[in-house]
Structure formats: C-alpha cells, structure tokens
Chain A
Amino acid sequence: NAGVTQTPKFQVLKTGQSMTLQCAQDMNHNSMYWYRQDPGMGLRLIYYSASEGTTDKGEVPNGYNVSRLNKREFSLRLESAAPSQTSVYFCASGTGGNSRRYEAFFGQGTRLTVV
C-alpha cells in the first residue's frame, strides 16, 4: 500500500538554485495537489491538477511550476529558490468528481530549507 510517495524527504538549497519535487500515487486518482505547510498558516494550495493534462493555480503559485506527467505523477519545480520558500511541501491525490465520496490522501512531506 504505497499510496502517495514523495521524494526527497529532506532538501537544503542555496538561494537561486532549482529543484524538482517528485510525487507519485498508485490509487488511480484523477486529482493531484501540491500544498505548502507553514507555522500558523495551515496548508495552502500551490497548484492542483484535476485530471491528466490539466493544471491550475491555487492560492500561492508564485515561484513554482508544475507538470502532470501522467495520471500517476505530479511534480513541483522551484526554478530559483528563495528563503521564503522554506517550508514543508505535501503532495496529495484525491478521488475528485462527486464530492460526497471525496477523499484526499497525503504523502509524507518534503522538508525544504533554502539558505
């Protein structure tokens, strides 16, 4: 039962460096999400993908790009990292569609520090 798998778990970047956070799910979900978690802010949506081939901005998209590579994989890229992007990043996937049965499943998170 892998569920949602994120890599890496920890990363330290220097300001201006780039990196890609990887996420894969094995539950055949249509919807996938990237959130960031900051103290006192809860989880804020960065980008989401309602289905393969589509992506949309969430609440805090600036400084990030995403790719929905296929139904399983949804990556998050930081082109030029900034200290303000120090955070814990969570990928999630969800059943989508009819919200009465809706659930979202989260990965273990990536703790990113930008120095």
Chain B
Amino acid sequence: GDSVTQMEGPVTLSEEAFLTINCTYTATGYPSLFWYVQYPGEGLQLLLKATKADDKGSNKGFEATYRKETTSFHLEKGSVQVSDSAVYFCALTLNTGNQFYFGTGTSLTVIP
C-alpha cells in the first residue's frame, strides 16, 4: 500500500549545522509530497511541497527535491537555528487528495 518512511530520531544538532532528514515513499500512483512541521504544543504547519518529479520545494531555508527514481523527498537545510527545533513529518497524497499518508515524524533539537 501507499506509505511514507522517514528517518527515525531524535536528531540533535548544533546551531549552524547542516540538516538532512531522509524520507522515502511507496505509492501506487503519482503522489504529491509534503513536509509538515510541528512546533511544541501546536498543530502541523505546511513547510514545503512538491507536486511532480524533479520539483524542488523550498521555504524558510529548507529544501526538498522530489526524486521519482529513488522515491525520495529528503529535507535539507544548510544552517539550522535553535528556532528550527520541532518535529518534522513527511507526507504524501494521491490524485484524489482525500487521504494523507504521514511518516512517523522526526524530532529535531538544535542546541546553541
């Protein structure tokens, strides 16, 4: 079935370090891919998305490229800040958009 697998955490980085959170997917069709972020005590917020192969989503210094050949959508940021500490979820939806499939989430803590 359709699913998302993402790198397990927690991840702890020093400020200004490079971040990669891996995400791979399995889908029967041609999904749209998303990264959501959840700050402590809050709901999920859309961070970025890509709707077709080779698209790059970007926002707030984060980037992810939709790689159909490797079925991946890895999240990267060149220099993390303390304010980036949160839980990050990779997700996909198929053409109908009627159901999201989420990964288990990766907790990121950035220390000064």
- Residues of A participating in the B interface, judged by any CB pair closer than 8 Å: 4, 31, 33, 35, 40-45, 48, 50, 56, 58, 90, 92, 94-109
Contacts and interface: CB of A to CB of B under 8 A. Distances in A.
Contacts, number: 67
A45 to B, nearest CB: 6
Contact of B99 (A40, A42, A45, A95): A45
Nearest to B1: A59
Contacts of B17: none
A90 B43 contact: yes
Interface in B54-112: 89, 93-100, 102-105
A40 B104 contact: yes
B23 to A, nearest CB: 12
A48 B99 contact: yes
A105 B49 CA distance: 13
B100 A45 contact: yes
8 contacts: A31-B97, A50-B96, A96-B97, A99-B31, A99-B94, A99-B97, A102-B93, A108-B42
A101 to B, nearest CB: 8
